[in-house]
Amino acid sequence: MKTRTLCKTVAATIGASMISLSANSAEILVTADIATSTTWTKNNTYNLQGQRYILPGATLTIEAGTVVASDVGGSLAVTRDARIDCVGTKLEPVIFTSKQDVATWTAGNPKTGTWRAVANEWGNVTVMGNGFIGKYGAGAVTTNTASPNSGNYANMEGLTASGSSDTRTFYGGGNDLDNSGRFEYVSLRYGGKVVGLGNELNGLSLGGIGKETKIDHIEIMNNVDDGIEIWGGCVDLKYVTIWNIGDDSLDVDHGWRGKIQFGLIVAGYSIAGAASGSGFCDSLVEMDGAAKSDAQPVTTACFYNMTLIGQPLSGKAGTKWRDNARAQFNNCIFMDIGKEVVKNDNTDGEATDGQTGYGYNGTLTFADTWTTNYNVYSTVNPYSNPASAYTAQRAGKLIQYTDSVFYNNVNSAAYTEANARGVFAAANNNVLAVAGSSPIASITRGPNVISGTVVVQPVISLDPRATNAAATSVSAPISDPFFTTAQYRGAFGPNENWLCGWTAADAFGMSVPPPTGCASSCPADINLDGIVNGTDLAGILSGWGSSGSSDINSDGTTNGVDLATLLSGWGNCI
Amino acid sequence: MRFTSKQTTIALITQLIIFIGQSGCANESTNPKSESVLKQQPEMPAIQTPASPPLANLSRDDLLDLAFQISTSIPIEPFASDRARMQALVSQACIKNGSLIQAIQYASRIEGWRQGELFALIGQQYATANETQRARDFAARAMEVATNEIDWRRERIVIETAKIYLQLGDSGKASALVEGVTQAELGKLETARTAIVLQSQLDNQADMFDKALATKNFDLVRGAIEGYLVWLDRVSEDEIRTTRALKVIDDALPGLPVDLQVKYGIDFADHLHKNLKRDLAILKLDKATEIFSATTFLPEDVAPLGAMIARARIRMGDEKSARLFLQRFYSEHSTRREGIVNLRRATSLRALAEGFCELGDRDDAIACYTWALEEGTINPNARPRAEDLGATCISMAECGVSLTPELKHQIDTIRSSLTYPW
């Protein structure tokens, strides 16, 4: 292994359970880039020293249960053509955090700890791939073109190249099926170390990531900049939870063409006293079409089953739209949003020549985008065959909100734009829930915190299970192999809380387990459609030997034990 | 022949000390008229190939077996898909070579959906050979794998299995099998159907392809173009229908990504050439070349696409320009490689080698393979090195190139280095 690692100390904590850091666990200082494939094991903790890269051809495998606890400045980036194979389990997630966080754990047990109003304690994880990106114009690489081009690339925000020949910081290319590896059951906490003004690190940065990359069960807790930011590519995400983010919770840009199902966003603050954008939440979801409004690819996405919980008093927009972005929000919950639920943000910091917003240079106006079918493609700088690139949307309009619940969004401008765009037209099956009929089981906010000029109402306890109008939806997700059939609104079914077991929210006591406990009442119902049947069996067989949702008992492999569980639970879930 | 034990592997490697002869290779002979200019390039590795003929013959099956062993050495975790993909490439190469027993042996050892697809492809070979029972057996084996798969992986198997039944004349069974399969995949079946339907049904097929083209859905458009190319073969004696096909394909190609415009442009030319429309074929190939030349591709895509054009030129009988084309890309590799990440460099050289093979320029092909093997050693990780080495072995087997002792030594050296870290 060429990676220079130094065994510095023996961890002082003594574990009381199998998931605790053991008495023998050593702290490994990661002091160099990873040029050769390496495995990080759960019996050690890893401390990233500065910005470290996994180089092309190398695979970093991180065992379930591994803790990466870094000092200030420690960060990990996966370069193009490198891989990360970071697969935790519900019982043993992989945790990227700060040493200060670990210090709050009881006896080294990562399922304990105390939430703190801090961030910036380490850097982040960045993954870069070879998918197409829409980065053209001001701030872009000068050789990039406005039309889709496999030669278009960009320098990743927050990473600094060591010289003109340093390609480690590049993302983007011409392979939308690119594979950057697996990132599953991973909790990232207290990160975002700022390396320069306007050059912050997001909790998880994904640039040009291709469809073969598997990302699911990801938690971002307390980050100074965005929670997750995605630039271009077409990676899909499933089971994502983002809490207490200092800027936008989820930010998608530069032609991302992917899907997300089961996403929870809880707006709050990550740094006491900070302003919005640098420690107190900005938008819950911000969407930029492309760096220049008429460049392609343009962000065209599809969301199902999102639960978006804002900050009622001082919070910002729920969903913010820029630069010709297109996205569909279906079967979602929008609640407690501080300002507009839908905001047309017709400005852009990247703009220098009037290229911002909608309707620029022949693109659709914002209003037109809402009434234009998903398969009508821009003729400006087009793909030669746009249907090959824009695959996330399979029906409906380019922008739509359907089959969703809107609750307790009390700002006077909360629904101004939404009403203007016909969000509540009967055909959309949206529900404006009345006071007292919360779409989630419970939410508890702590005492108000005065943070600079804003009033934060921190969520200290959440039972996110669907109830009332969210308990059932008119439609299930559209037929698409990625989407799980889920006949409810929001990220959680009436009987399940997938935060259980692996998240900081669970460890910190902020997530309320369901009455039946953390284990699912119907564990063999892999696709969460309320019945254990042949589809679940197919899922078991498909996932045989690997981890993931088919690994019912979360022991790291799908095997006969899981099959037996499935067969014993055959039939309708009770 | 199967090599599974360590001893057998060593024996195989020992045999490879001498050359691999080519039984049944279309381009196995050296071309006495072509003098390699590649060795004149100063930046390139010195060509150490002796001018002497092969010292001994080893079958291409042995080289493919080596490729399979290399791919099987890739650890399943976390590289299951990389490993299976590589193994499947070997099995496919065996099918292409007509080594069905070897293909079956390999397919049986592959995990996941690719095994089902390979069983179906093998079944198609038996169907073509009118070995009906064996074809049905493999259809059944393929579908057995399919029952454990979901989504597009299952559909891939089902489509290829349905083709077996089409070939066996059981169109109804084929249609029943694909019920519920997404439209995007169905184009492949309809292309296969077009090759065998009655003349009276051909217009129905074309009408179906027209509808697919009108959707502008990428997968449907690709399927329709492929269908029309087969349709062109069936109607080549019919001027009106041929004109229809030419127009439809001409109109559809610009709607594809540029690299696919080049690839399908070459296919278009090949189909025309096959149907004795040589002048038109050359026009279409010129058009593909024009698109290629006018486009700035990524450095790693230039030589592979260029080699495709060169090989098409060879098939059209224009060996001179093909050779110049290949030599140009070879000479440019020493500068272009700097812009290519090390684990992708060998791909360009393999493509050029295959072009030289097709020309019968044995020394130039070996120079390319020598360099490809060198390029494939740079990455410090065994997984990309194994993928490169396996791909080069497959390429050499398919080309029927003669192994030199130096190439053999290179292969041995690389193979012995395929250990942790992967």
A538 within a domain of the structure (yes/no): yes
A52 within a domain of the structure (yes/no): no
Residues A421 and A551 in one domain: no
Q: How far apart are CA B118 and CA B108, in angstroms?
A: 9
Task: Give the gap in angstroms from C-alpha A49 to the nearest C-alpha of chain B.
Answer: 22
A442 within a domain of the structure (yes/no): yes
A197 within a domain of the structure (yes/no): yes
Q: What local confidence, expressed as pLDDT, does residue B390 receive?
A: 97
Q: Supply B337's token pair.
A: 């490689």
Are residues B375 and B342 in contact, defined by beta-carbon separation less than 8 angstroms? yes
pLDDT band for position B30 (50/70/90)?
very low
Per residue in A91-122, pLDDT tens?
899 999 999 999 999 999 999 999 999 999 99
* Contacts A141 to B, Cβ<8 Å: none
Q: B106 vs A198, which has greater pLDDT?
A: B106
The conformation of residue B253, written as its DSSP 8-state character, comes to: G
Q: Is the peptide bond before B405 cis (omega within 30 degrees of 0)?
A: no
Residues A363 and A343 in one domain: yes
Quick check: B34 pLDDT over 70? Answer: no
Q: For the purposes of burial, counting CB atoms within 10 Å of the CB of A88, is it exposed (0-12), middle (13-18) or buried (19 or more)?
A: buried
Q: How far apart are CA A303 and CA A445, in angstroms?
A: 27
For range B357-372, the mean pLDDT: 94
B218 touches chain A (CB under 8 A): yes
Mean pLDDT is highest, among A398-412, A438-452, B49-63, B154-168, for: A398-412
Per residue in A403-423, pLDDT tens?
999 999 999 999 999 999 999
Could you list the residue range(s) of the whole structural domain that residue A551 is in? 522-574
Per residue in A507-562, pLDDT tens?
999 999 888 777 665 778 776 655 778 878 888 887 788 777 788 776 778 888 88
Domain borders along chain B are 194-280
Residues A275 and A409 in one domain: yes
Q: What local confidence, expressed as pLDDT, does residue A354 receive?
A: 62
Are residues B328 and B313 in contact, defined by beta-carbon separation less than 8 angstroms? no
Per residue in A247-306, pLDDT tens?
999 999 999 999 999 999 999 999 888 877 778 899 999 999 988 888 999 999 999 999
Residues A454 and A556 in one domain: no
User: For residue B24, how many other CB atoms are within 10 A of its CB?
Assistant: 10
What string of DSSP letters covers A450-473? EETTEEE--EEEEEEEE-GGGS--
Are residues A121 and A190 in contact, defined by beta-carbon separation less than 8 angstroms? yes
Task: Give the gap in angstroms from C-alpha B82 to the nearest C-alpha of chain A.
Answer: 10
Residues A463 and A545 in one domain: no
The count of structural domains within chain A is: 2
Task: Give the gap in angstroms from C-alpha A149 to the nearest C-alpha of chain B.
Answer: 9
* Interface touch B149/A538, C-beta < 8 Å: yes
Residues A306 and A341 in one domain: yes
- CA quadruple A478, A483, A484, A487: dihedral, nearest 10: -40
Per residue in B335-346, pLDDT tens?
999 989 999 999
Residues A218 and A303 in one domain: yes
| Proportion of chain B above pLDDT 90, given as a percent | 66
Q: Supply B395's token pair.
A: 């390429």
Please give the span between the terminal C-alpha atoms of chain A, in angstroms, as a whole number. 51
Q: How far apart are CA A333 and CA A460, in angstroms?
A: 19
B80 touches chain A (CB under 8 A): yes
Chain A from 115 to 154: CB within 8 A of any B CB: 149-151
* Interface touch A481/B150, C-beta < 8 Å: yes
Alpha helices in B235-298 (DSSP H): 239-252, 258-274, 278-294
| Nearest residue to A27 (alpha-carbon basis) of A63, A69, A59, A65 | A69
Q: Nearest Cβ partner of B298 from A150, A387, A388?
A: A150
B239 touches chain A (CB under 8 A): no
β-bridge partners, A321: A287, A344
Q: Is the peptide bond before B384 cis (omega within 30 degrees of 0)?
A: no
Quick check: B318 pLDDT over 60? Answer: yes
* Interface touch A56/B255, C-beta < 8 Å: no
Question: Tokens 């939430």 appear where?
Answer: A115
Task: Give the gap in angstroms from C-alpha B157 to the nearest C-alpha of chain A.
Answer: 14
Q: Nearest Cβ partner of B216 from A174, A387, A545?
A: A387
Cβ contacts of residue B290 below 8 Å, gap of 6+?
none
Are residues B7 and B108 in contact, defined by beta-carbon separation less than 8 angstroms? no
* Contacts A61 to B, Cβ<8 Å: 77-78
Residues A268 and A328 in one domain: yes
Q: How far apart are CA A218 and CA A182, in angstroms?
A: 11
Quick check: B57 pLDDT over 50? Answer: no
What string of DSSP letters covers A157-168? TT---SSTT--T
- Dihedral sign of CA atoms B293, A378, A351, A150 in order: negative
Quick check: B374 pLDDT over 60? Answer: yes
Alpha helices in B316-381 (DSSP H): 319-336, 345-359, 362-375
Three-state DSSP class for residue A54 = strand
B148 touches chain A (CB under 8 A): yes
Residues A419 and A486 in one domain: yes
Which of the listed residues A517, A535, A557 is the one where a domain comes to its end?
A: A517
B214 touches chain A (CB under 8 A): no
Question: Tokens 């919950």 appear where?
Answer: A333
Which CATH number fits the domain that encloses residue A553? 1.10.1330.10
Chain A from 360 to 399: CB within 8 A of any B CB: 375, 383-389
* Interface touch A481/B152, C-beta < 8 Å: yes
Q: Supply B94's token pair.
A: 């065996």
A537 within a domain of the structure (yes/no): yes
* Contacts B76 to A, Cβ<8 Å: 545
A420 within a domain of the structure (yes/no): yes
A176 within a domain of the structure (yes/no): yes
* Interface touch B341/A80, C-beta < 8 Å: yes
Residues A271 and A286 in one domain: yes
For range B181-198, the mean pLDDT: 84
* Contacts B301 to A, Cβ<8 Å: 150, 174
Cβ contacts from A onto B, under 8 A: 98
Element (H, E) at B156: helix B151-167
Quick check: B353 pLDDT over 80? Answer: yes
Residues A251 and A333 in one domain: yes
A245 within a domain of the structure (yes/no): yes
- Dihedral sign of CA atoms B54, B57, B58, B63 in order: positive
Gyration radius of chain A's alpha carbons: 22
Which of the listed residues A517, A534, A557 is the one where a domain comes to its end?
A: A517
